[in-house]
Structure 1
Amino acid sequence: MLRETAKEEVLDRTAEVASAIAVEGLRYVSDASPGYRRKRTGTSFSYYDKDGKRITDKAIIRRIKSIGIPPAYEFVWICPSPNGHIQATGLDARGRKQYRYHPKWRELREQNMYEHVMQFAAALPALRDRVASDMKRDGLPREKVLATIVSLLEKTLIRVGNAEYAEKNKSYGLTTMRRKHVAIGRGVLRFDFTGKSGKQWKLQVEDRRIAAIVKRCAEIPGHELFKYLDDDGTSRTVDSGEVNGYIKDITGQDFSAKDFRTWAGTVLAALALADFRKYDSQAEAKRNVVAAIEKVAKQLGNTPAICRKSYVHPEILCAYMSGDLAKMLDAKVAQKFKRQYAKLTADEIMVLAFLHRRLQALKSSA
C-alpha cells in the first residue's frame, strides 16, 4: 500500500542520507567549538586561526572567501575544516544568527525533503482526525484551542506567528493575533491584519464550529485573540511553541506549523502547473513556472523567490520542465487510494503518489 511503502521509503532514504554524509566526507560541527575569526582591515578582512594567529595560507583564504559571508555580518565564526557541514555563522544587521552550509550538505538536505514531505502527508489523516476530535471537547480547554488554530492553519495558510515579530514589527500570525484583527459573525470569521514582511491579509473563513470557538476565545478578557481556560478556570494565552508541540505530540514526528504551508504550496503549485496547456518550448514552460509560483506565493503571503525556494517541492518544477508532471499526476491513482487516505483530498493523494513514484524512479536510476 502507498502509506506503508512510503514509510518504508522514508526510513530507507533517511539511512541513505546518513550514509551519504560519511561517503561525502562531511563532518558535523558546531560554532561552539573553536574556529577562525575575521577582522576588518580597511575595505577587506584579515582572518585569524584558533590560536589568534593571522592566516596567510592563500588556499585557506580562498576557501573562506568562497563561503560568501556578507561583509555586514558580525561575530563571525568560520569552520577550520573544509568538510564541516556548517562552514560559517554570523549575526546579521538585525542580530539574527545566520548559517552558511557546505554545498554538499545543502544537496543532502534537499534530497531529504522527499522524506519529510511524504511523512507529513502520510501523517495528515491521523492529525486531522485528532484535530476534529479535540475541537468537539466541552468547555474551552487548551487542546480545543490548539486544535482550532491548527484547523485555521490549514484553511487559511496564515503563519503560526512569532512573538518577537509581533512586538518589533507589528506583524502577526495566528498565535499573536489580536482581537481587533478579526470580525466574528454568525459562522463567519473575517481576518484583516498585517503579516510578515508587511503583507496585508484580508480573508474570510466560513465554518460554524471554528467561528463559535473563536468567539468564545475573544470573549475572554485580554487583547490576544486565542486564549484557553485551564483546570482552575484561569485564562492562558498560547504561543507557536505550544502549537508545534501539539502537532509533534499527535504525529510523533518532527513536524511543525510550517509543514502545512509547505505541503499546501507543493500541492497548489502542482495543480497550477497542471492547468496549463501543453507547452511548445522550454521558454514557455519557464514562463508558466514563473506564473504558477507567483500565484502560489500570493496565496501563501510570500515573495515568489521565497515561495519557490522554501514552499514548493523542487521535483514538482523539475517534472514540469521535463514534461513528466502531467503524466504522473494521475486521477486514477487518487481514486485507488481514496479509502486509504480518507482525510486527504483527491488532489493531495495525486501529489503524494507523484512524489512516491518520482522517488522510486530516482532511486532506480541512481
Structure 2
Amino acid sequence: MSENGWPRPGRETLPWTSRMAEFLTPRQRVLLPSTYEAAVVPEIADAALTLSTRLAAAEADAVAAVSRFDSDAASALLPFTPLLLRSESSASSRIEQLTVSARRLMEAELFGAGRGNAALVVANTRAMTAAASIRPPLSLDSLLSMHRALLESSAPDDAGALRREPVWIGGSELSPAGALFVPPRHERVPEALEDLFAFTRRTDLPPLTRTAIAHAHFETIHPFVDGNGRTGRALIHVLLSWAGLTPHAPLPLSAVLLADVDSYFRSLDAYRRGEPLVIVELFIGAAARAAALGRSAGRRIGRTVEAMLERSPGRAGTPDRAIIELLARRPVLDAGSAATAVGVSEAAARRSLERLEAAGLLRGYLIGPHRRAWRSPEILDLMDDVASALGRRARPGTRREMP
C-alpha cells in the first residue's frame, strides 16, 4: 500500500529468452539477462480513495465547465463536433509522435489518399467513432472492438487481440531488463481487465477522478502489443460520455495533455508508484482547460463559417451556402462528396465549388490524376490549432512502447 492507502503494483521475477538471440553477436548473447521483473497489477475494484477538499472542489468546477462545453455542443457546437472528433484523434496520436496535418488527415479519410501517419490517425478516428457507439457496461468485447478499429488496417494480426508476449516501455530493444516500466505478464491481463471493468462501474467516485484512474490503470495493464495509449485515450471519452458529461461532443482532452506530454507521462509513473492523485489532479486541470478550448474552437469555427457565408456569391437556386455550411464538418471536398452531402448533381456541386474558389473562399488543387478537390485553409488551420492546444505544443519525450 502507498501512504494514501491506494494499492501499489507489486513485482515478480520472470525468465527471459530473446526471440532475437540468433541475430545477436556472441557478446550480446552473453550479456543478455536471463530474468526480468514485471509488474503485478493490484485489484482496484473496491480500493478506497479520498479526495482532499481542495481537489474535490476543483473537480466540481471542472465538471461544471465540461457540462457547459457539452451544452454548447448540443446547440451551437453541434455542426462542428465531427471536426472536434478528428482534432482530438489527431492530438491523441501526436502524443505517440504520430503527427499529421488536418489537411492530410481529411484527405486520407475522404479520398483514401494517405499513408503512414495519416492512415494511422484516420484509424484512430475510427477507434474513437467506434468508442462513441459502445454502450455500458464496459466489457472485454467492447474494448477489443475499439482496438480492432484502431489497428485493423495497419496491424491486422494484432488488432482486437490481447497480447501474448511481454511488452515494455523504454530501455533496450533486446530485453525488458532495465526498462522504465514492464507491464504484467500476459497471463495476468484478462483478470486485471475484469477488475478494471468493475472499477469503471463504481458510483462512489466523481467522474473525472474515476476516468483518470481507469485510464492510468489501463495503461499500467498495457493489454495490447501496440495501440495501448490511443485505445486508453479513446476509453477516456467512453467513460466521460457514460458519466453524462460529454454525450454530444468529444472533449478535446488529448489536445490539452499534448501541451505537456512529459507531465502526462510523469503522472502515469506516479500512479504506478501508488500515487493516484497526481493523474487525478492532472485530469481535472486538463478537463477544465479542454472545455474552454472546445468552446473557443466552436466559436471560432462558427465565426469563420459566418464570415464565409457573408462573402459567398450566394446565388439563388445554387448549393453555395449549403456547401459552405458543409465545410464546418468537412473542410476538404471533391464534387462527388459535396454533391452527395447536399443533395445536388455532381455538375451543380462542381460549379458551386468553382464559384467559391473564384470568390477566394476555397482553394482548388489536384488530389490525384484528373481528380480535383477543394479545401478551406481557414477551417483546416483551426483544426490544427485544436489538435495542438491552440499552438501550445510541448516537445514529446523520447519514451516509446517496445514490443
TM-score by length of 1: 0.25
More RCO (CA 8 Å, sep 6+): 2
Higher strand share: 1
TM-score by length of 2: 0.23
